[in-house]
Structure 1
Amino acid sequence: MTEYVSTTPGLFPLPDWAKDDLSDLKGHQKHDLVSGDEDEEITAVYEQARGEVIGRQHDADLDLVSEGQLRWDDMLAHPLAVHDSVETRGIVRYYDNNNFYREPVVQDDLGFSGDVARELESAAESTDDLQAVLPGPYSLADLATDEHYGDEETFLAAVADFLAGEVEAFPDHETLFLLEPSLVTDAPGDGLDERASEAVDTVAAATDADVVVHTYWGALEEKVYAHLLDAEIDAVGFDFVTEQEDNLYNLQEYGATDDVALGLVDGQNTLVEDPEAVRDRAEWVFERLPVTDFDTVYLTTNTETFYLPYRKFEEKLAVLADAATLAEVTPA
């Protein structure tokens, strides 16, 4: 029988009080904070906020609990932005929206950092259902600038090795969500598409947890998707909020892994969905597939949720949990 699991791709909005406290401490907006060198007062704010968002996920009965990535002021670029071998430069638009990050410029070998592992170690003290979150290697390389490795394929492989080393230091976790929007928005061309799959494989091999490669802001090109299925991963995530037909086509034409992640709740829109509507959206997908005997179906938002007001974010956690429960009662 299919198991329905409620979760998120992480990158949560800060609680309102934490935004205010951080603004007072730093004197400017959150996206201008310099990650990685916070003083004790700022660290204390993040620790308290982390405890709060973990508590909110427990209160909502979410099946998998994210650390929240509240310190990720540079969003998916964060693991490089705080690295000793990286210089952060000007502010760059984050994909095609009104969020920004500091451009990470890699200037030396990407050795071990441990920044994300430290965050997860703190979170692991508060939950037994930990879900780790990282940028996928292709997206992280796409968001960065290379001034050290020399060519695109070598740089992508180096980023994958770096992320794999970080994962090896993680505390025990149930799942690892690798966020790969760049596979959609800036699809790799011939040759690099296969290298992107190999890079994902490198990171996935570093953990014994289930690995979900979550893609969003559209649908993967057919060849990119076919190569991604060659990686040793447990599930691909599909953004059924932004693009329904092309994502459905990929599933119909190329199949899927034994598990699947469905982005059915809008991570950017403040409209709060009804749990029954989310369940119906899942059924709409499954009714159109030749095979629906997935071992696990992850129900999630289509994108990160840091775009949302904090109260709406809380409400959407409850929607996901309720939708998973409904789906278990009336499976597709």
Structure 2
Amino acid sequence: MTEIVATTPGLYPLPDWAKEQLKNQKGNQKADLISGDESEEIEQSYEDVRTEFIDAQQAASLDRIVEGQGRWDDMLAHPLAVNDAVDTQGIVRYYDNNNFYRDPVVTGDLEATGDVANELEAAAEQVEEGLQAVLPGPYSLADLATDEHYGDDAAFQAAIADFLADEADLLPDVETLFLLEPSLVENAPGEGADERASDAIDTVAAATDAEVVVHPYWGALEEKVYAHVMDADIDALGFDLISDHEQNVYNAQEYGTPDDVALGIVDGQNTLVEEPETIEERIEWFTDQTQQNDYERIYATTNTETFYLPVNRFEEKLEALGALNKTEVKA
């Protein structure tokens, strides 16, 4: 019997009240220009945001609860943006979306800050079970950053992997860790770099006892990249069935999957809210297409972050995912 686990990859949209409040608290700066040294009132605002995110997930009966990453104004680059060895410079486009982050330029030896762990510690006070951590994957974080210290791509990626492993080691007790790896799709590693990307994922995964889910999105992995990611010691691999269902199914058919998979079957960027029955049909379609694979667990999730959605649509999508808990799904 396959276990269906309703969850998300985090990075939720800030409520309107929080956007306005934080803008005022930061002296009318853009909300994404955060130094990491917040005042007490800014910290309180983010705590209130976290509580709202957790309440929404619990009300929707999700099986895994994320912190929501309300402070991650620099998107996946956030763990570097708050690091003393990083100079956060000019605004750059976040992949091909109309969202932006500050370019994290690494200028010294990276050491873990415990910033993400602190957020999870706070979330753990409100979540009795099912807590899920979210980190950028090592390949994506290295891709989004600029190196002015380590000297070459291989050394830089290894340093990023070690940094994330140290951050993961500081996390409180969580059931699942989602490593978000859109760059594996958006800027696929070439020959040699694909194997290094797999090794980097191994480094991070080895640092935690949690179930590790590598979640690429905005398309499907190239075949060689897929094969190398399959070599990594991970518990589950993600498939963005919204952006490219055909190639993702082909990869699963041709190269197999881990025992667990994460299926991106709710659109994290489109305001159209899927019915629970539609989500169930998408799960069944994937399992029918990949009958040679015997899945122990399927994480049913949005394909991307929901940062781009209006808050009301975001909450409705949480409710649609949570409704899967009350419905028998054939898998």
Q: Indicate whether the TM-score tops 0.5.
A: yes
Query: Which residue of structure 1 lines up, in the alignment, with residue 330 of structure 2?
Result: 331
In 1: Cα distance, 2:247 partner to 2:138 partner: 24
Given that residues 56 and 315 in structure 2 are in contact (C-alpha distance below 8 angstroms), is that contact kept between their aligned partners in structure 1?
A: yes
The share of aligned pairs that are identical, in percent, is 65
Query: Which residue of structure 1 lines up, in the alignment, with residue 321 of structure 2?
Result: 320
- Deviation digits for residues 38-72 of structure 1, max 9, x if unmatched? 11111000001101110110110000000001000
1:281 is displaced (CA, Å) by 0.9
Given that residues 259 and 297 in structure 2 are in contact (C-alpha distance below 8 angstroms), is that contact kept between their aligned partners in structure 1?
A: yes
CA RMSD in angstroms, aligned pairs only: 0.9
Name the aligned partner's letter for residue 220 of structure 1. Answer: L
In 2: Cα distance, 1:131 partner to 1:96 partner: 27
Query: Which residue of structure 1 lines up, in the alignment, with residue 17 of structure 2?
Result: 17
Residue aligned with 1:294, SS: coil
Query: Which residue of structure 1 lines up, in the alignment, with residue 51 of structure 2?
Result: 51
Unaligned runs of 5+ in 1: none
Query: Which residue of structure 2 lines up, in the alignment, with residue 95 of structure 1?
Result: 95
Tell me whether 1:299 sits opposite 2:282 in the alignment.
no
In 2: Cα distance, 1:204 partner to 1:112 partner: 16
Matches within 5 A, 1:258-277: 258-277=259-278
Query: Which residue of structure 1 lines up, in the alignment, with residue 182 of structure 2?
Result: 181
Out of 265-274 and 288-297, give the one that drifted further.
Answer: 288-297
TM-score (normalizing by structure 2): 0.98
Matches within 5 A, 1:154-169: 154-169=155-170
Tell me whether 1:309 sits opposite 2:288 in the alignment.
no
Query: Which residue of structure 2 lines up, in the alignment, with residue 214 of structure 1?
Result: 215
In 2: Cα distance, 1:266 partner to 1:283 partner: 17
TM-score (normalizing by structure 1): 0.98
Name the aligned partner's letter for residue 114 of structure 1. Answer: G
Residue aligned with 2:24, SS: helix
Given that residues 185 and 218 in structure 2 are in contact (C-alpha distance below 8 angstroms), is that contact kept between their aligned partners in structure 1?
A: yes
Name the aligned partner's letter for residue 258 of structure 1. Answer: D
Query: Which residue of structure 1 lines up, in the alignment, with residue 282 of structure 2?
Result: 281
Query: Which residue of structure 2 lines up, in the alignment, with residue 140 of structure 1?
Result: 141
Q: How many residues align?
A: 329
1:246 is displaced (CA, Å) by 0.5
In 2: Cα distance, 1:148 partner to 1:7 partner: 37
Given that residues 35 and 73 in structure 1 are in contact (C-alpha distance below 8 angstroms), is that contact kept between their aligned partners in structure 2?
A: no
1:214 is displaced (CA, Å) by 0.4
In 2: Cα distance, 1:174 partner to 1:167 partner: 13
Name the aligned partner's letter for residue 39 of structure 1. Answer: S
Residue aligned with 1:132, SS: strand
Residue aligned with 2:154, SS: helix
Query: Which residue of structure 2 lines up, in the alignment, with residue 70 of structure 1?
Result: 70
Given that residues 6 and 298 in structure 1 are in contact (C-alpha distance below 8 angstroms), is that contact kept between their aligned partners in structure 2?
A: yes
Given that residues 4 and 325 in structure 1 are in contact (C-alpha distance below 8 angstroms), is that contact kept between their aligned partners in structure 2?
A: no
In 1: Cα distance, 2:326 partner to 2:239 partner: 20
Name the aligned partner's letter for residue 18 of structure 1. Answer: A
